[in-house]
Amino acid sequence: MLFRGLSMAPRSNANACKTAGGLDPLMVSYNESIYYDRVFYAQDIRGSIAWARANHNQGILTKAEFEAIVAGFATVEEEWKSGTFAIVPGVDEDIHTANERRLGEMIGKSIAGKLHTGRSRNEQIATDMRLWLRDELRTIEAYLVDFLKVLAARAENDIEFVMPGYTHLQRAQPVRFSHWLLSYGMAFATDLQRLGEVITRVNRSPLGCGALAGNPFNIDRDAMAKELGFEGLLWNSMGAVADRDFVVETMQWGSMLMQHMSRWAEDLIIYSTAEFGFVKLADAYSTGSSLMPQKKNPDSLELLRGKSGRAFGVMTGLMYSLKGLPSTYNKDLQESIEPLLDHVKTVGDSIRIATGVTSTLTVQPQHMLAALTPDMLATDLADYLVRKGVPFRETHHISGQVVALAEKTGTNMDQLTYEQLKGIDARFEEDVKTCFDYNRSVEMRAAKGGTSRKSVEGQIAILKEILGAKQ
């Protein structure tokens, strides 16, 4: 026998069922969601009033009953707002049962009991979540617009500052600080456009789909959707109550934004070090060391970087929870609520912190200028010869020889003599010295998307155009 010698009798513990057929008290708390889904109280009430109105229109509720429900819910909502709503442990399993229980206490169970006619909690929670998420995403959209406005204003204000641009974290070519800012600004602007698409898909109504098979009382789903501000319906009742793609898509969107946020934060962390000194964080977004008084830590940026991992984690966890579920509603779907609440708060808070960091950041252009070195103009030297008719592959090699000579002689490239340059290639002329100018270098990159002043101003205009479409 596999378990020989082991007693299979249940051990006595405080969580054991005390009555036959009753739920284990631990199972009661394990099952209930009221302590986090109560955040949907207003959406649940709005959905219930729309439902009551639709049932009244079908003759299921009298006018007096409908008016009593509306009045009762007004009081219930006020209790939630004021913090006086008393949750009954073990009875109020979720926000739906809590609201209906309290409504019954106020207007009588005989009337309140009619409210649930033809309705399932499956469609209720799906409706509540979509209503709540739609409104939260619109708030996040406003935060993101504000952040992008600050980025655009900063890019305009700091357009004269030139700094090293990096690839592989190695100094590469001179760029405008504003160009760097807009490299992330354009990524966040794309996130803003994606968010609008996500909101459209979130804002569809499952109300009236029942548990899975639909409503038997010919309820007007279109009227309810319109009342609740939905832009359309979910067209399959089975799919509507089981769908959490709108949650996953929101978290995928948020993870993409947080990925951009993390990379932006990482750059600023590097740029704020003493070794770089390109920027300085305001005291409001940095902290001192508990041991070393000279240190000023970029905690805001480090938290943005760290919280991106948190956003990725809850998204991945939910996808694992959903991947093997059979149709239609399963209790596993309850596990979509807490990750969503956490994700939405993390993303919204992060955007606002990023806005504060950007608006209060001190830029130190003198340190940017000091970090520029003549070898970063090696490509400009190659481009110079291209304009003399030399093939680029050849000019690249020649420019490399100039770099090598500068390193060998311990001389900056711009300090090499005209004779030394002519010794490498006879096609160098005296005007070659014009190549060793950082401002000229950035101005030469004048094609759309480049780092010249005109190109950067064009990018700012594009960003403002995208923001204008959101007004």
C-alpha 32/C-alpha 95 separation (Å) is 10
C-alpha 255/C-alpha 286 separation (Å) is 24
What Å distances lie between residue 434 and 377, 413, 420, 441, 447, CA to CA?
11, 12, 16, 10, 20
Strand partners, 170: 167
The strand pair at 362-363 and 296-297 is best described as unpaired
Write the DSSP assignment of 365-403 as a string of letters.
HHHHHHH--GGGGHHHHHHHHHTTT--HHHHHHHHHHHH
Amino acid at 139: T
C-alpha 177/C-alpha 369 separation (Å) is 11
Residue keyed to tokens 């008016």: 67
* Range 399-434 burial, b when 16+ CB lie within 10 A, else e: beebeebbeeeeeebeebeeeebeebbebbeeebee
The strand pair at 204-205 and 232-233 is best described as parallel
> CB of 151 within 8 A of CB of 182?
yes
The residues that are catalytic are 168, 289
> CB of 228 within 8 A of CB of 207?
yes
